[in-house]
Structure 1
């Protein structure tokens, strides 16, 4: 009886191993960059992150909270600002602006509700967040909150934050 059980267990284990090997690979949840790149509202942000060499960082383990300005937010900057920031000689300024939009850790809107906070960004400077009536970050309003990525959270904002 023990031998029959052992044989059945071996066959079962072999079947599970074969099924696992034949099953299609499950794709992991998209990361912050993948989500931004697949959303038609963040073309300028993705171009800026690429120009600043921050893609690998924002595809990293994290977790990060990103306050992501839309294309419309970038378009609201004075004429020529985005083009100037994307020039190779301005990479340090671009990096400073982009990292000012990133907070270490995954912070969801329910954690911000009802609070006023000053939070250190990856840039090293603090942003002021007010969660008492919706959520604002400095002069920007969070228009869509809690887009969950494999390595953090994205909150869509309607203005570019300038350190």
Structure 2
């Protein structure tokens, strides 16, 4: 009888061992299963996009730095509203001056400013026969030294590269150079500062041509 009990006990142990061997080998804990599921989800959604740089998150930050690193001539050329001024600078061989070390202050007339000129004067500025006139007019927009709007004081007289004088009229944020209004002020460049104005600064005696 004792022998039979012993055999039954061994048989029971053997069955338990067989049952344990037949169990699946998934021994993950609850946390491990959650991590695996998260990993699969990331792979399914694709790679995570890198964050934008801090400089790009600052509106205009990178562009302002890029503009200030260029010369006055390059910044004039890059402005579509100054295309006529840029073209005339090159035609009159005045452009090379604005590529120098400077510094210079440039009052650049817009496209609308040139269109507002009398037809005869505008034609003369574009004529090879009036190169000296063109040089005089363009040089009348260039000042030696770097003058921001905070430097331009009401009543100040500025001497241009053409040897003429321009008067500054300042009232709060409104700044005039003779009769021209500064529309886009303080464009910093590597060799000076650029101000966009709404009129061409033509010496009085030249307007009769």
Short-chain TM bin? 0.7 to 0.9
Deviations 1:66-114 (A, max 9, x none): 010001100110124323212111110000000011110000001125x
Equivalent in the alignment of 2:116: 76
Unaligned runs of 5+ in 2: 1-65, 204-209
What SS class does the counterpart of residue 106 from structure 2 fall into?
A: strand
- Which has the higher relative contact order, 1 or 2, with Cα contacts under 8 A spaced 6 or more apart? 1
TM-score, structure 1 normalization: 0.79
Q: Distance in 1 between matches of 2:129 and 2:142?
A: 22
Instruction: Please say if 1:156 is aligned against 2:196.
Output: yes
Equivalent in the alignment of 1:132: 171
Q: Distance in 2 between matches of 1:128 and 1:30?
A: 28
Check the 8 A contact 1:142/1:157 in 2, yes or no. yes
What SS class does the counterpart of residue 133 from structure 2 fall into?
A: helix
Unaligned runs of 5+ in 1: 1-26
Instruction: Please say if 1:90 is aligned against 2:130.
Output: yes
RMSD: 1.5
Q: Distance in 2 between matches of 1:97 and 1:71?
A: 15
Deviations 1:114-135 (A, max 9, x none): x211111111111011123411
Instruction: Please say if 1:144 is aligned against 2:170.
Output: no
What SS class does the counterpart of residue 110 from structure 1 fall into?
A: coil
Equivalent in the alignment of 2:159: 120
Check the 8 A contact 1:116/1:132 in 2, yes or no. no
Deviations 1:127-158 (A, max 9, x none): 01112341100110001110001110011100
Larger Rg computed on CA atoms:
2
The correspondence for 2:75, drawn from 14, 30, 35, is: 35
Q: Distance in 2 between matches of 1:129 and 1:86?
A: 28
Check the 8 A contact 1:70/1:156 in 2, yes or no. yes
TM-score, structure 2 normalization: 0.62
Which structure is higher in helix share?
2
4+ runs of 1 displaced by more than 6 Å?
Answer: none
